[in-house]
A and B are shown apart, each in its own frame.
Chain A
Amino acid sequence: MPTTYLEAIREGLWEEMERDPNVFLIGEDIGIYGGAFKVTAGFIEHFGGRRVVDTPISESGIVGAAIGAGLMGLRPVAEMQFADFISCGFDQIVNFAAKCRYRWNAAVPMVVRAPSGGGIHGGPFHSQNPEMWFVKVPGLKVVCPSTAYDAKGLIKSAVRDNDPVIFFEHKALYRRIKEDLPTEEFTVPIGKARIARTGRDLSVITYGAMVWVALEAAEILAGEGIEMEVVDLRSLLPLDRDTVCESVKKTSKALLLHEDTRTAGMAGELAVTITEGVFEHLDAPIVRVTAPDTPVPFSPPLEEAFLPNTAKVIEKARWLHRY
């Protein structure tokens, strides 16, 4: 029976709560209601109100409380109802949680779950990809799983991690993708990329929902004789620079793809990573496909124009292949 991306996150959280009594959930509408996306449906009935804490609407309060509990040795998993609202808890994450260990040797084991991404007609405040706000912050870890397997394996690793982890789960993937998961327990290490498809002609480096766009493009390009390798970063911080460079070293061409907006997106960091690491192996300019530098619009034709898609990736990939 295949497991959806959403169900994979649920399973990961459930198993970690069964495994470790210090793990608890905190957030808005997560208990009785089961969460805006029903990720935590059924948790309060099983684990009780002590371990599934419904709070007032209070993102800074939720993150702050999670930090306090984390400092005390508990393992809180805080839910932002939408990743867009994480800005309300920004100071707590970037100034409090991220710097405790470095400053005064205090661990803040904490996961902040953030349902992110577009493609659901959510408009400017329910569709953003704010991962780069946090990739700039030493002390945080940032993960963006693309598959059900990784979603489960990474949420489990995030819960067990001794540092604050921002867990971006892509809303458009929640019920859209599924796969058979191993029955035995597994985790996925934070900070390790994976090769989602191997290829010899060019590398597309991406993460989150865009992995699926890249794979679709790769399938079509294969029919034209272009073999595109797809690197799924899985974690943005720490970044698996070795896997990125190894792939580009092999293909000599790099296409960087993300759903986040263009300026100062992950593509910028990846481009420098590649030039620092494997410049001698490049046979073409590094190119990128990203969302433009606008807010995420609401109306379907506007949002469609905003989001990177298979056609845009194929166009760039063909150009890169010809180069």
Chain B
Amino acid sequence: MSTIPTTSAHEQLGPAESAPQAELARRCLYYMSLMRETEDRIERKLYRQGKVLGGVYVGRGQEAIPVGTALHSLPEDVLLPSHRDMAVFFIRGIPLGRIFAQYMGRVGGLTNGRDGNMHMGDMSAGLVSIISALAATVPVAAGVALALQYRGTNGVAFSYFGDGSTSRGDWHEGVNMATVLKLPVVFVCNNNQYAYSTPLSGQMACTHVADRGPAYGMPAEIVDGNDVFAVYEATGRAVAHARAGLGPYLLECKTFRMTGHSAHDAAEYVPPALFDEWAKRDPIVRLEEKAIEHGWSDQAAIDAVHAQVRQEVDAAVAWADEQPFPDPATLFGNVYDGE
């Protein structure tokens, strides 16, 4: 097997507190650009070519949330990303080629064709896979945190979900479990204002997801989810709270789903003005403007990051496309241990 193309900026995990803002901006730009390019390639090219089948759910416009949060994770932390949090996988060091192979149903994907799209995980990288019933990972995150605490580690569980997930019983049971048992969980909501076709007003009668925090005795804050620096700073507070043994913390990152629910959904139910309005708040553009304004970067350096990302994605797609489809004989095995 040829070398699996990976991400160039895969580096030591950990907060960049000591790093200058310029370095943080560079890392954020790299991961956000990589997520945008990867998902564009999947949704707008491979899916249309028929090389990616089934459901495709992207986080276009939401990249600041997985990046700004996961950059705080330490190796011993465990993350439970949802389906619009692709960058979490990059930050935890999953090779890009394996992610494309996963989407293409090939050997070498994280599930070797047994599952598709964002239904992937790798405990050795501290990543738990979602299942389709979203919010199911919320009580699981509580259990992960329980284990981290049980072992006396300083680890934190990062539990990701959308606004729609907060309607489900599992969300409430998981959050309540974490608060009652005072477990180290950082709950990260990407409130992108639509759950499939249902707007927030059809999902909950309170104004903010964060309103739910105090009902469980949990601190909660509202964050501009399209400002990666704001997300990063807020996550720092949340993680410090959880690591200090003070229990869970809820971050509601306000954003907007700049696509349909999935690749087959034209999202005609979303007023076009909302897309226009939120397009002006694109998190990548905002990051670039801020970086130039503060002198952390310049246009040439920014262009170089995007060019590098495109090259990495090209290589990863080419690698994935060379991987075989699974042998039908691999239908069996590993249903149970030792098979």
Contact = CB atoms under 8 A, between A and B. Distances in A.
Interface of A: 24, 50, 53, 55-56, 58, 60-74, 76, 91-92, 95-96, 99-107, 138-139, 141, 161-163, 238
A50 B177 CA distance: 15
30 contacts: A56-B173, A56-B177, A58-B176, A60-B139, A60-B169, A61-B142, A64-B143, A64-B177, A65-B139, A65-B142, A65-B174, A65-B177, A68-B140, A68-B144, A68-B147, A69-B143, A71-B144, A72-B147, A95-B136, A96-B131, A96-B136, A99-B131, A100-B129, A101-B334, A101-B336, A101-B337, A103-B119, A104-B110, A104-B120, A104-B129
Contacts of A103: 111, 114-115, 119, 129
Interface in B105-134: 110-111, 114-115, 119-123, 128-129, 131-133
Contacts of A63: 139
Contacts of B334: 101-102, 105
A139 B335 CA distance: 5
Contacts of A99: 131
A52 to B, nearest CB: 12
**The 8 nearest A-B residue pairs measured at CB:** A68-B143, A64-B139, A61-B173, A72-B147, A65-B143, A162-B337, A68-B144, A68-B140
A65 B157 CA distance: 12
Contacts of B110: 104
B59 to A, nearest CB: 20
A103 B128 CA distance: 11
A139 B336 contact: yes
A104 B143 contact: no
Interface string B164-179: 0000011001101100
Nearest to B120: A104
B145 A68 contact: yes
Contacts of B144: 68-69, 71-72
Interface residues on B, range: 35 or more
A163 B337 contact: yes
Select the residue from B78, B151, B177 with max chain A CB neighbours within 10 A: B177
A96 B138 CA distance: 12
B128 A71 contact: yes
Contact of A107 (B139, B176, B177, B337): B337
A64 B174 contact: yes
A34 B133 CA distance: 33
A102 B170 contact: no
Given A61-B173, A91-B170, A139-B335, 8 more contacts: A58-B139, A64-B143, A65-B142, A69-B144, A69-B147, A95-B131, A95-B133, A106-B123
B180 A56 contact: yes
Contacts of A100: 129
A68 B337 contact: no
Contacts, number: 137
Given A56-B176, A72-B148, A106 B335 contact: no
Nearest to B80: A68
A56 B138 CA distance: 15
Given A99-B131, A101-B336, A163-B336, A65 B111 contact: no
Select the residue from A58, A73, A74, A141 with max chain B CB neighbours within 10 A: A58
A227 to B, nearest CB: 37
Contacts of B114: 102-104
A107 B336 CA distance: 9
A71 B140 contact: yes
Contact of A68 (B111, B122, B141, B336): B141
Contact of A76 (B121, B129, B143, B176): B143
Nearest to A22: B150
Nearest to B177: A61
A57 B46 CA distance: 46
Nearest to A66: B143
Nearest to B109: A104
Nearest to A103: B115
Contacts of A163: 336-337
A138 B147 CA distance: 26
B169 to A, nearest CB: 6
Contacts of A69: 143-144, 146-147, 150
Contacts of B139: 58, 60-65, 67-68, 92
B292 interface: no
Contacts of A72: 78, 123, 143-144, 147-148, 151
A70 B143 contact: yes
Contacts of B170: 60-61, 64, 91-92
A68 B146 contact: yes
